[in-house]
Amino acid sequence: MTELKTVLVVAAALIDVDGRVLIAQRPEGKHMAGLWEFPGGKVEPGERPEAALVRELNEELGIDVTEACLSPFVFTSHAYESFHLLMPLFLCRRWSGVVERREHAALAWVRPNRLSDYAMPPADAPLVAWLRDLI
């Protein structure tokens, strides 16, 4: 069996003052278009994970996050057909600026116990379970 390349993707669960979590719908034309995800993206060569997440949150949502406000939470490790995804999820309750939709098809603020109403990538199932139980 050929080994799948492991791809490191960093993602954030932004949590608002009411305890709702931000999820974003992947746009047309991308792998898994239409599914809802936690904002984030691939770590570039030579980039630290936290720096990559700060960059992605700015690119995708237009907000500024400081690395100190990213708390490591849980991770998922999942074999897709063409690559192996390793994705840590950070919690973030503080940011500056207003969340805006820049790259996604839609955004939604959702209570953790309602996340299962949204179709998410298969790799995200354990993350959703942890969020529901722990926040």
Name which position in 41, 49, 62, 126 contacts ligand 8DG (CB under 6 A): 41
**Residue 37 in the binding site for ligand 8DG (CB under 6 A):** yes
Name which position in 14, 21, 25, 40 contacts ligand 8DG (CB under 6 A): 40
The site that binds ligand 8DG (CB under 6 A) totals a number of residues, namely 15
Q: In angstroms, rounded to a whole number, what is the distance separating the alpha carbons of residues 101 and 94?
A: 18
Phi/psi for 37 (5° steps) reads: -140, 170
Find the shortest distance in angstroms from Cβ 49 to Mg ion. 14
User: Strand, helix or coil at 116?
Assistant: helix
Q: In angstroms, rounded to a whole number, what is the distance separating the alpha carbons of residues 15 and 85?
A: 24
Name which position in 14, 22, 57, 123 contacts ligand 8DG (CB under 6 A): 123
**Residue 49 in the binding site for Mg ion (CB under 5 A):** no
**Residue 41 in the binding site for Mg ion (CB under 5 A):** yes
Bridge-based pairing state of the strands 84-92 and 6-14: parallel
